[in-house]
Structure 1
Amino acid sequence: MREGAPTGELTAPANSVPPGLAERVRAGERAALARALTLVESLPLEGASSGARVPPDLAPLLAGRVRAHVVGVTGAPGAGKSTLVGRLAVHLRERGRRVGVLAVDPSSPFSGGALLGDRVRMAVPVADPGLFVRSVASRGHQGGLALAVFRMVRVMAAAGMETVLVETVGAGQNDVGVLGVADTVVLVLNPATGDEIQALKAGIVEIGDVMVVNKADLPGADETYRAVTSALDIASSPDPGWRVPVVRVSALQDRGLDLLIEALERHRIHLSSGPAGLRRRRIQAEWELRAALLAAVERRLVAPLTASGRWAHLVDRLASGELSADEAAEAVLGSLNP
């Protein structure tokens, strides 16, 4: 079910948290979940401009271990990620799992709102009470993930979602930020488009826990499958205890989804039964800490400079060529010890 404000409408002030919102989210109230997601998504923008921090009434939703299985779905643009995520969500629901979906979209450089609205293309049942789909703007963050994504995953898990699917923007080999939020990363490849060559390179392919050759009904799918399988046979794995499976799927024809779900479940069990799970949680903690730290730096450093007019002055000097970017950055840091 698609609920909540459109991603670009981040107008609710952080201090307008309805009483008892956290308790209502944990009780599974959909309206409360939609409201909480809108509030936590708006926090980074408000924090940068007004010094706002997480309101106490929201803080309980953002603490503790995330108990949901968080699955990140990434790959090049046009790989069919949205359709795949939609069909995957439906199949998980058929197995009785409560599913949350976060579709990370490219964002407008002006309003910050999402540009594509991938959730519109997922074709999921709109009346299913156990399925909640929400778009979120990437806001230009490296790897396509903003601090809001980490927070929104936590809120969905607090609301009782057993699986949270995070679909990333899709930025080729730079789209590695999903590793910081996902327990299991699904890398989606296109047949006969050269995507199999990525399996021979360092980069995003190294973070894939499950490889999916999507559009398996198209010519070239078998060749892509063989190329990726062969590449994985000779590649070194960051997790020696896990053999990365390659699954052929046709999301459009609804084929291969059960095999994909079985692979996801095997990886979930793998993480829960050995040291790999602890390593993944440490990676997630470090990425989330870095995202929170960058937001805090902007909140405490950039916001005062903006309010005083010094930020605009530095931007003007940089634009005119009077300063280099490194010199402007040093001037910003120097404001800490005037």
Structure 2
Amino acid sequence: MDYLPPRPARTLRRRRAARPALVASVLALGLGLAGCSAGGPAAPSASPSASASAAAEPAQVANLDGVSVEGRFGESPTVKFAPFTVAETQSKVLIEGSGPEVTADMAVTVHYQGLNGRTGQVFDASYANGKPTSFKLNGVIPGFSKGLVGKKQGSRVLIAMPGKDGYDSSGGIAQAGIQVGDTLVFVVDIVSVPLSGPSGDKVTQPSGQPTVSGALNDPRISIPAGAAPSQLVVQPLIKGTGDKVATDSTVVVNYRGWLWDGSKQIADTYAAKMVNGQQVPAAPESGPLSDLIKGWQTALKGQPVGSRILIVVPPSQAYPDGSPDQGIPAGATLVYVVDILQVY
């Protein structure tokens, strides 16, 4: 996350958000991601298929027809299969959702169960905790991303991946009972993906505030004449209906920012940008709420996903000494339009 407004450098104190069980205990171990839990992965436990088939030699299969999955979306599944391997990552939609599709660079919120294709043992799951887990697909093992990209929110997906898309490059994960060459089997319920834009009821603004016009994906600002407000202004423009931002949330947002004086644009995620001589496509950005400027922390906390928020931030809650690399002079009041697309 390179552009989301960070705290001023002189007060910056980065804190890594706690990793969910899947990332901390299993997926992250194969990638060396930060924030791993001290306890490591859940102890392997036998699935209904394990006792009958653990001694059998895994056979390579061309499809997942031999894997039986019972249970409803959002509930812990019962998975049965004879030991098997796959040469390439395969996926199968068991329950078809109707929501937006998963893309490779987004964060997803899922419930999941992971099993070893060689032994039938469950090595990790989220259902017992009663809470789904969230992570960025480009930050986990390749097979997980390959299996979910293109699938829809609300779907239950069966994934089988060979060791090369799992943990072979890490030498397996001994504490999870995963050896080099093991095929991994996941049942994944896609609980939520980021919205493509704000969604909800429009809110009437009081007079005297900056006004926003333009298309939803191209907000424009009109700043009124007169002195900038000395206090933080937080004005919902569209009121969403999703989960609310909490103190410990990571937020996924689109936003555009301007200086109050002169209306110069200083930040933007709606359009492609040049970074170090290379064009970076337009894309939402994400970051822990606790890492953002104080004005954003106060403004976004408690706001529901789907909301569009107008924020006018006085210098004391943004960059009192300025931020030259963002084109922000000392003492500048900033104006932002922020679309909250996801929290996790």
- Give your verdict on TM over 0.5: no
- Structure 1-normalised TM-score? 0.24
Structure whose CA Rg is larger? 2
More strand by share: 2
- Structure 2-normalised TM-score? 0.24
More helix by share: 1
